Amino acid sequence: MSRKRLIVLSLGGTITMVPQAEGGIAPKLGAAELVASVPELAQVAGIEADSPARLPSPSLKPDHLVAVARRIEDAFAAGADGAVVIQGTDTIEESAFLLDLLVGGDKPVVITGAMRGADAPGADGPANLLAAARVAASEEARGLGTLAVLNYDIHAARFVQKTHTTLPSAFGSPMAGPIGAVAEGRTRLFARIGRLPVLPADGGPPRPVALLKWAMGDDGRLLGALPGLGYAGAVIEGMGAGHVPAEAAQALGELAARMPVVLASRAAAGPVFTRTYGYPGGEIDLIRRGLIPAGLLSGLKARLLLGLALRGGAGQAAAATAFAPYQ
C-alpha cells in the first residue's frame, strides 16, 4: 500500500502561540515548525505543511476559510489523501462548518487546535495535531465531510460547539455527542453521518448576514436598521424552539419581506420547531410571516449557510433550499 499524503495548513491560534516580551502569548509558530515538533507524524503520512495565516482565530474571516477550501481542493486533485487545518479554538466550530459546506468528495478534512499555548505546561497541541493527522489519514474518516478532532474526540462539523473557555475538553457536540475517538493511535467511529449538499468554493465568501439573539424584553428596535446597514440577510436566535415576544412578530415579518430571515434557537441544542406553537410570536406564526427555520443548525452556523446561499444575488428561494436538508 502506498504511503498516505496529507496537506497541513496552519492559520494560527493558541496552538502556535509562544510568550512575547511585552506579555501574553501570540501566534508565532508556522505549520512546518508544528509538524517538526511532533516526530510521530512522520509515521502517519508524508506531509506538506504551509501557513496561509498566523492569526488569533477571532481575526479570521470567512474569506480565509474559502481560500483554505480551494487550497484543499487543489491538493486533493493533486493526489493528497486528506487535509488537516490548524487554527485557534475560538472559531473552530464556524471554520469546520464552512469547510464542510465547501469541500466536496470523500477525502477527510480535519480541523484542530489547542487550549494551551505551545510553551505551557501540559500543552495539548502536539497530541491534538497527531490525533487529527491520524484521523485525516484513516479510511474510517472517508465520506464524513469535515471533522473536528480535539482532546481525542472526533466531532462532526455540523454539531461541534465550543462549550468552555479554558478546559482541554472544551469541545462538545450537544446535539449528537462525538461520533468517534482516537484511541491506541486508531480512528474509532461510534456512528457515521451522511453528507449534506456542498456549495462551490469558487463562489466566493458568504454575503454579510446579521445574527441577533433574542432576550427577554427585547422589542426588536434593531430590525428596521438591518437593510440599511448592508446586510443581505439575518438570522434570529429565538427563545426556546424558535419564539419571540408577540409584539416583535410583525417587525420580523416586515424584515422578512425585505431580506431572507432565518429562525434559529438560542438554546444550545435541539431543532427549531415548525408546527407546534401557534400563538403570536411562536414558530408557526413566524414561519407564516416568511421566516425560514434553521432546523438543526445553531445561529452561528445558520449565519454562514445563509451567507453562502445568498452569493451571486440569490434570495429567499435559494435560502429556503439551502436549509431544507437541515430540517
Instruction: Answer for the pair 235, 299: CB distance below 8 angstroms, yes or no.
Output: yes
Q: Please tell me the distance from the alpha carbon of residue 92 to that of residue 161, in angstroms, as a whole number.
A: 8
Instruction: Answer for the pair 269, 175: CB distance below 8 angstroms, yes or no.
Output: yes
Q: Please tell me the distance from the alpha carbon of residue 301 to that of residue 173, in angstroms, as a whole number.
A: 13
Q: Report DSSP state, residue 243.
A: B
The residue from 14, 91, 146, 187 that is catalytic is 14
Q: Is 166 a catalytic residue?
A: no
Q: Taking the chain, what is the end-to-end CA distance rounded to the nearest angstrom?
A: 41
Backbone torsions φ then ψ of 36, nearest 5 degrees: -65, -25
Q: Please tell me the distance from the alpha carbon of residue 245 to that of residue 219, in angstroms, as a whole number.
A: 8
Q: Which residue has the cell 496561509?
A: 52
Beta bridge partners of 154: 149, 180
Q: Please tell me the distance from the alpha carbon of residue 67 to that of residue 86, in angstroms, as a whole number.
A: 14
* Cα–Cα–Cα angle for 271, 147, 293, rounded to 5 degrees: 20
> What are 296's three cell numbers?
438543526
Question: Nearest Cα to 305, choosing from 212, 224, 209, 217?
Answer: 209
Q: Please tell me the distance from the alpha carbon of residue 45 to that of residue 129, in angstroms, as a whole number.
A: 13
167-183 as b/e: b if 16+ CB within 10 A: ebebbbbebbebbbbbe
Annotated binding site for substrate: 57, 89-90
Amino acid found at 125: G
Q: Please identify every residue annotated as catalytic.
A: 14
